[in-house]
């Protein structure tokens, strides 16, 4: 009887650890999707601003998007690191 109770506790512990792994996987999937979307949006912003800056260099559009390039670089790095880890 004692062995059976011990087995049940061990089984519950195994189930909990698999649930934790599933939650961790779910979090990484959501994080990856968010990072991919940040990459796409930053790429579009940088491309559009580059075109606008090319047509009208006096407005200095590239100077006004100082946040987009670091976002693009950081999110691309994080996505590639996450893909390398997997």
Instruction: Read off the pLDDT of residues 27-60 as tens digits, 9 standing for 90 and up.
Output: 888 888 898 888 889 889 999 999 999 999 888 8
As a whole number of angstroms, the distance between CA 62 and CA 44 comes to: 13
Note down the domain range covering 71.
2-85
pTM score, whole prediction: 0.64
In total, how many domains does the chain have?
Answer: 1
Tell me what percent of the chain is helix, strand and coil, each rounded to the nearest 5.
90, 0, 10
């Amino acid at each position: 009887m004692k062995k059976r109770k011990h087995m049940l506790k061990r089984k519950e512990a195994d189930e909990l650890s698999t649930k934790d792994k599933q939650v961790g996987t779910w979090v990484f999937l959501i994080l990856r999707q968010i990072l991919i979307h940040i990459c796409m949006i930053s790429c579009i912003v940088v491309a559009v601003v580059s075109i606008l800056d090319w047509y009208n260099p006096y407005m200095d559009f590239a100077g006004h998007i100082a946040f987009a390039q670091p976002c693009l670089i950081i999110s691309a790095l994080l996505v590639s690191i996450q893909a390398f880890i997997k």
